[in-house]
Amino acid sequence: MENSKFEDKLKRLESIVQLLDNRETSIEEMLILYEEGIKLVSECRKFLEEAEQKIIDITNLESQTSDSEENVI
């Protein structure tokens, strides 16, 4: 699921939470699901951190461009 879309990972996390809440899920299956969930959370967090950095970079670039244009005028 490494290259899956962020939205797909969130949907899978939601289904994992539902399965973990299900009292009929065995302990062994819960451990497997928990491990998968932790991995997905880490991947989603990394994606969000990278997206946040891109937004910061774009905002800084936009700010620098605006400052340069003001200095020309």
* Global confidence as pTM: 0.75
Alpha carbon of 4 to those of 16, 19, 40, 65: distances in Å? 16, 21, 10, 35
Over residues 3-60, the pLDDT tens digits come to 679 999 999 999 999 999 999 999 999 999 999 999 999 999 999 999 999 999 999 9
The reported pLDDT for the residue numbered 27 is 96
Alpha carbon of 43 to those of 16, 36, 61: distances in Å? 15, 11, 27
Distance CA 53, CA 41 (A): 18
The domain limits of the chain are 6-72
Residue 25 main-chain phi, psi, to 5 deg = -75, 130
Distance CA 61, CA 30 (A): 46
